Amino acid sequence: MKRLITVFVFLILFFPVQPQSGQGKDKKGPLPKNAQDRNQKLDIVLVLDNSGSMNKNDPEFFAKDVVTNFLIEMEEGLRLGMIIFDQKVDLLEPLVDMTDSEARAGFLKSLNRLNYSGRFSDSPAAIERAIYELKNRGRKDAHKSIVFLSDGIVDTGDKSRDYEKEKWMKQDLAQDSRKAGIRIAGISFSNSADFSNIQALAFKTDGEYFRAVNVADVHHAVKKIYEMVTKPVIRPAAQVATTKKEVVPAPAKIAPVMPAVKKIEPAVSPAKEMPGTQKQGFFLEIVLVVILVLLVVIVIMMLFRERSKPVIKEDSVSVAHPREDTSMPQALLVDVKNITAKKTLILDKRMINIGRGSNNDVAIPQDTVSGFHATIECRDDTFYLEDQRSTNMTYLNGEEIKAYSPKRLKSGDEIIFADYRFVFLIAYQTPAGETTRVG
């Protein structure tokens, strides 16, 4: 029903009544595609792995070929920055206009610092520095991207710290990058690389990742990345949230539009006196009135329907903290065997962490559950379950799911973390033709 209302609003906003002949302004079509491309502004930060493991995974130094290809392929509107990292992070070149020949020469000179001699690989810190550079020095009207050249390995010399760093990068940094409209494209130069980190960053920021094991792969990757960074950033979740805010409080939003109905009366005249263009405009006005009337009827029906929905009582569920995002669907996780001592949990954030540790949103205090076992994330009003490389696996409806391979959830799905069974539910929704049973 809400989707139908959204369609009506779309028709009203984007198909207005056409001006009558002789009364409209001169029409101007959209810019030709090539003109639009020339006006695009691109801000890109290259993040280069300088750790010793790259000697094995990129012995031909293809990373340098990628950088030089960017300088060749990208022309007007391009600003590039460059970061290299090993155990430390260095901003070699801040964002600078590549149309300046001196800047391009300085950029290539700095590239000579890349020698794969570092002892460790702190890629999360490098990604954080690149996001900071784009958020603080990037142009507001530019397409912002990070190109991450690495074997994906996080190695700070401390395994427990590596785990925390990976978690920080794939969750907090990826989410921060997505919110800022920054895409991350990853390129690895070996099939033995740790693609889980590269893939997670690309997936969660609407980016892409590539394997480049020869020169042809390098050219292909640069071409595909160029296509990616020149596309507008689409934020479906933000658009849906905006639409809901405009539609749900229907009575307040409809009132300013209703005067359009009154304006039709003076426009009506006998059919004999109407030229062809006036008849067409009159017809479109009638269609608009019909759409508005239908919209009012549907909104009234929805208000009655909302009043009839059951209310979830606070004493029947466990609420860890107040609901943070009222624009997302209300989802529940039912603890079948009451392992958590909280029979029903409300998933009230867009990112829910699940694991043995007490710092998780859903804490399962059992030894077979990993410290950070899995996540449930809400994107575009859809929930996804993702295993975080747990020791004893995560199962969806009896099937094991691979680490870092998000699976879409529907109401009534059974989820098993190690040995412990839960049921995922979306409030007011039951699987079609089925009865959800818990127990």
Which carries the bigger pLDDT value, residue 187 or residue 290?
A: 187
Query: Which amino acid type is present at position 49?
Result: D
At 57, is the pLDDT very low, low, confident or very high (cuts 50, 70, 90)?
confident
Residue 27 reports pLDDT greater than 70: no
At 229, is the pLDDT very low, low, confident or very high (cuts 50, 70, 90)?
confident
The pair of structure tokens assigned to 329 is 């669907």
- Residue 121: Cβ within 10 Å count: 26
Q: Which of 97-101, 131-135, 257-261 has the lowest mean pLDDT?
A: 257-261
- Residue 343: Cβ within 10 Å count: 14
At 211, is the pLDDT very low, low, confident or very high (cuts 50, 70, 90)?
confident
Q: Which of 5-9, 26-30, 166-170, 176-180 has the lowest mean pLDDT?
A: 26-30
Q: Which of 6-15, 26-35, 391-400 has the lowest mean pLDDT?
A: 26-35
Beta bridge partners of 118: 51
Q: Which of 148-157, 191-200, 251-260, 342-351 has the lowest mean pLDDT?
A: 251-260
For the residues 251-258, what does the mean pLDDT come to? 45
pLDDT at position 373: 95
Rg (CA), the chain: 27
Query: Which amino acid type is present at position 165?
Result: K
Residue 189 reports pLDDT greater than 70: yes
The SS3 call for residue 168 is helix
- Give the rounded percent of residues in the chain with a pLDDT score beyond 70: 70
For the residues 86-109, what does the mean pLDDT come to? 87
At 252, is the pLDDT very low, low, confident or very high (cuts 50, 70, 90)?
very low
Residues 386-439 pLDDT 10s: 999 999 999 999 999 999 999 999 999 999 999 999 999 987 665 544 433 434
Which carries the bigger pLDDT value, residue 122 or residue 266?
A: 122
Residue 233 reports pLDDT greater than 90: no
Strand order in the sheet with 344-347: 344-347, 331-335, 420-426, 414-417, 394-396, 399-400
CA angle 362, 205, 31 (to 5 degrees): 145
pLDDT at position 191: 74
Instruction: Return the DSSP state at 118.
Output: B
Beta bridge partners of 399: 396
Which carries the bigger pLDDT value, residue 399 or residue 318?
A: 399
pLDDT at position 130: 95
What average pLDDT does the chain have?
Answer: 76
Q: Which of 186-190, 202-206, 209-213, 257-261 has the lowest mean pLDDT?
A: 257-261
Contact between 356 and 363 (Cβ < 8 Å): yes
Distance of CA 33 to the CA centre of its chain: 26
Contact between 92 and 113 (Cβ < 8 Å): yes
Q: Which of 55-69, 202-216, 315-329 has the lowest mean pLDDT?
A: 315-329
Which carries the bigger pLDDT value, residue 156 or residue 259?
A: 156
- Residue 336: Cβ within 10 Å count: 16
At 234, is the pLDDT very low, low, confident or very high (cuts 50, 70, 90)?
low
At 238, is the pLDDT very low, low, confident or very high (cuts 50, 70, 90)?
very low
Residue 127 reports pLDDT greater than 80: yes
Give the C-alpha separation, 236 to 234, whole Å. 6
Query: For tokens 């993702």, what's the residue?
Result: 386
Give the C-alpha separation, 297 to 354, whole Å. 43
